[in-house]
Structure 1
């Protein structure tokens, strides 16, 4: 019989291999999250800036309404004024009051010039708006 206890010298002991893949994965995820947050914040800033510019443009258009055509002026004031009506309770009440005063000038085929009292309410509404 042969001896089974032969010494094996050619097999090396186990060597620990450093594995950094988990650290690489965490780094990639953190960079992706940071870039995503930066992109989202930049988009939100751009949207907010655009919304402010739209408000300024609409306020400018609202404050420069031409009263020579009363029907068109009534429709324009009603349309542009709606943008600012939801700012607070005071502007909402002023808008509804102005809207009611402009109603006779919108739905008739032929209308007379807008009276001074309604124009006064229009100017008051412009002063109430926080542009």
Structure 2
């Protein structure tokens, strides 16, 4: 019988290769989560900034109402004023008073010009709004 332990000179012995795939995976997950959180925070910041700008635009429109058409002015004051009515209790009461004063100007077919008392309530409401 022949000897089966023949030395083979052309084949190198097996070597151990270090496996870094787990570390690569963890790094990719951390980078992905970080970028996603940064994008979400930037989006939230942009939405807050936009919300503030909408309030400023509506306040500017509320402050610059044209009283030449009293019916349209009453509806516009009601629509724009409702945005600020829920800010605090003071603005809520002021809006409610103004809303009651504007009712006769909204629901009649022919209306007269808005009286000075109602305009005073309007000016007071505009002054107490915090933008």
1:109–1:16 distance in 2 versus 1, CA, 3 Å: same
Deviation at 1:15, TM superposition (A): 3.6
Gap regions ≥5 residues in structure 1: none
Q: How does 1:103-114 map to 2 (within 5 A)?
A: 103-114=103-114
Query: Size of the alignment, in residue pairs?
Result: 129
Name the counterpart of 1:85: 85
Name the counterpart of 2:50: 50
Q: How does 1:1-131 map to 2 (within 5 A)?
A: 7=5, 15-131=15-131
- Structure 1-normalised TM-score? 0.89
Q: Counterparts of 2:116 and 2:30 in 1: how far apart (Å)?
A: 63
- Structure 2-normalised TM-score? 0.89
Deviation at 1:59, TM superposition (A): 0.4
Give 4+ residue runs of structure 1 displaced > 3 Å after superposition: 5-15
Task: Give the root-mean-square deviation of aligned CA atoms.
Answer: 1.8
